[in-house]
Chain A
Amino acid sequence: MFLRNSWYVAASGHEAGRKPLRRVILGEPVVLFRTEDGTPVALEDRCAHRHLPLSMGKLIGDTLQCHYHGLRYDRTGACVRVPGQDLIPPSARVRSYPLVERYRWLWIWMGDPALADPGRITDYHWLDDPSWGAASEYLHVKANWQLIVDNLLDLTHLAFVHETTIGNSALVEHASVKVQRAHDNVAVTRWIIDQPPPPTFVKVGGFTGNVDRWQIIDFVPPAFLRLDVGATPTGTGAPEGHRVGGISMRNLNAITPETETTSHYFWGQAHDFDIHNPHTTEKVVAQIRTAFLEDVAVFEAQQVNLDLVPNPPQTDINADTGVIQARRILDRLHQEEAAAAPRVAAE
């Protein structure tokens, strides 16, 4: 089940160019490319004639030519040339999708184009804000998108899945988690006071003693998770909002469903220390990458079991509070979208 009336990240800006890029999004084939002036374009990746992916073709100027019979489509999806005939059938058209380039990502709208307001794009400014160092990456995941959302709203797994990377045992034993919710938002906040910093933080923050550490997860439906994490030397006032002498990072996640059982996982990491040093950015990203690959192994193994037995009974534990609140928002939005969709007339 997908929420269609939302912006999703279709690709990193650098992925789209003069070579057509195919990407399946919400179960629909999409082709991404740039016109000669650099404008990004998203079209249905299926020729109106015989269904070949247009991404197998090539760009002729600002038109995309199908590899099979040479039909050409302009940036609006209208066919502008049919080889061997002068007249173009009005049905020779593929869908075009609203597409916006922002925060170094290309954002696509798969729902009703009339509702595609770029003002509704979730804020990821840390990825191109000059006061932060940042880089972003892409992972293809063979698992349903909601398994990834669940994971990013859940702090408890850090101590287990990521024991050697971003987790440590202080997380479970010395932390208090608070879940706050609003109409279309869930925030999960964890403070770990006066505990040793995890290995990652020691490497980048140079801490010598205990720290006060925060993890604040901000969920925006359908699948945007922005994590504010950091630490300051213990007792310096971070819990009261006074962050000095420490480090802060944003872990920025945007998940785009590919199919019901596969996902595009766009993520970035921004850091507020040593911001002009690409080696630091790479180091920070590398550590998160290692952790996320540990997560991906979990998602894909979960999906294998869910493929064998769909919707098995499951036990909820208190650590699931954030996950459950988010799922409730998603359930409500699915219902609202289904209710607003035009009904198919009964024959």
Chain B
Amino acid sequence: MTTWHRVASASDLRDDEGFPVDVDGAAIALYRINGAIHAIDDVCTHEFAVLSQGFVQAGTIECPLHAAQFDIATGECLSGPAAQDLRTYPVRQEGDDIYVGVPEA
């Protein structure tokens, strides 16, 4: 069962940076890549760092602290020092409203 949370307006997003949102205490970041909006965990799987403050380049996010890289669309860890992938979340847009789907505990 997925719960949908309204987390942002589409106009909040920019192509070159992540947009951090809080979904029931979970840190998630939204990205817009080639028009598609993606939602992935916002905390690096290596050490604690907020990824949305990192560097977006060619569909990847680079951790601002230790340079681990993740694929924004799939959450896949592309290069170290992190080893684990990020969780991804389904995104739905209704008008200007953006919803993120989070599995119910």
Judge whether B65 and A181 touch: CB under 8 Å.
Answer: no
Residues 247-269 of chain A, each 1 if its beta carbon lies under 8 Å from chain B, else 0: 00000000000000000000000
Judge whether A316 and B50 touch: CB under 8 Å.
Answer: no
Q: Specify the chain B residue showing the minimal Cβ separation from A316.
A: B65
Q: Specify the chain B residue showing the minimal Cβ separation from A181.
A: B55
Q: Is B64 an interface residue (CB 8 A)?
A: yes
Main secondary structure of the interface of B (DSSP, over half): loop
**Alpha-carbon separation in the docked complex, A324 to B53 (Å):** 13
Main secondary structure of the interface of A (DSSP, over half): helix
Bin chain A's interface residue count. 10 to 19
Most buried by B among A177, A181, A318: A318
Write the nearest CB–CB distance from A312 to chain B, whole angstroms.
Answer: 16
Q: Is B78 an interface residue (CB 8 A)?
A: no
**Alpha-carbon separation in the docked complex, A320 to B50 (Å):** 11
Q: Is A179 an interface residue (CB 8 A)?
A: yes
Q: Is A35 an interface residue (CB 8 A)?
A: no
Q: Is B23 an interface residue (CB 8 A)?
A: no
**Alpha-carbon separation in the docked complex, A181 to B57 (Å):** 12
Q: Which of A177, A179, A181, A316 is in CB contact (< 8 Å) with B66?
A: A316
Judge whether B65 and A318 touch: CB under 8 Å.
Answer: yes
Residues 144-166 of chain A, each 1 if its beta carbon lies under 8 Å from chain B, else 0: 00000000000000000000000
**Alpha-carbon separation in the docked complex, A178 to B14 (Å):** 13
Most buried by B among A177, A178, A324: A324
Q: Is B91 an interface residue (CB 8 A)?
A: no
Judge whether B49 and A318 touch: CB under 8 Å.
Answer: yes
A181 proximity list for chain B (CB < 8 A): 55
Write the nearest CB–CB distance from B70 to chain A, whole angstroms.
Answer: 16
Judge whether B47 and A321 touch: CB under 8 Å.
Answer: no
Given contacts A321-B65, A324-B66, 8 further A-B contacts (CB under 8 A): A179-B53, A316-B49, A318-B49, A318-B64, A318-B65, A324-B64, A324-B65, A328-B67
- A-to-B contact residues, CB < 8 Å: 177-179, 181, 316, 318, 320-321, 324-325, 328
Query: Could you pull out 12 A-B pairs where Cβ atoms are within 8 angstroms?
Result: A179-B53, A179-B64, A316-B47, A318-B49, A318-B53, A318-B65, A321-B53, A321-B54, A321-B64, A324-B64, A324-B66, A325-B64
What are the 10 tightest A-B residue pairs by CB atom distance, in nearest-first order? A321-B64, A316-B65, A318-B50, A318-B53, A324-B65, A318-B49, A321-B53, A318-B64, A320-B65, A321-B65
